Amino acid sequence: MDKLWNLLTLYDKILIVLLLLGSVFFIVLPLIGLTTEGNNLIDGEIVIQSSGIIQARIPLSDTYGDKALRIEIAGPIGTSIVEAFQGRVRMFEAPEADPEKICEKTGWIDQPGPMIICVPNQISIWIEAAESEFDGVSW
C-alpha cells in the first residue's frame, strides 16, 4: 500500500480525498433528511376519487395534527377507509370483498406522482401539489 501511495502525485491524493468526502456527503445527506425535495408539502391536497367522481379534496395542512384523519369512501364492493396523517395518505382498510387488498399494501404516499388505486372498489387516491414541475401525465 505504501508503494502505491508513493506513486501518486499530490493532485491524485487531493482528488481521492475529495471523492471520498463527496461520496460520504451524498450518502449521509438523504439519511438525515436534508434533501431539496420537500416531503412536507403543506400547500397541496389529497384527492380521493370513487367511480370516476372526486369524492373529497383534503388540504395537506389539515393532516398535521395529533390524530390521523380517517375518511370512509363508499365503492361498488363496499366501504374503504382512507387515512391521512402528517402530510401522508394511505388506504387504511379495504373492503373484505377485495381479495388482494393491494391498495392497503401500497402503504403511505407523501408526494405528488404515486397513486393508490383499489381496482375492485374503483377508488383512486393521489396528492396534488399547489405548484408542480409537471404539467400533465401521458400514458
Q: Is the model's pLDDT at 15 over the cut of 90?
A: yes
Q: Which stretch of 51-60, 100-109, 124-133 has the lowest confidence by average pLDDT?
A: 124-133
pLDDT in tens, 41-84: 567 899 999 989 999 999 988 888 889 999 999 989 999 999 99
Q: What is the pTM of this model?
A: 0.64
Query: What's the gap between Cα 132 and its chain centre?
Result: 15
At residue 68, φ and ψ (nearest 5 deg) are -75, 145
pLDDT band (50, 70, 90) for residue 109: very high
**Closest residue by Cα to residue 41 from 133, 137, 136:** 133
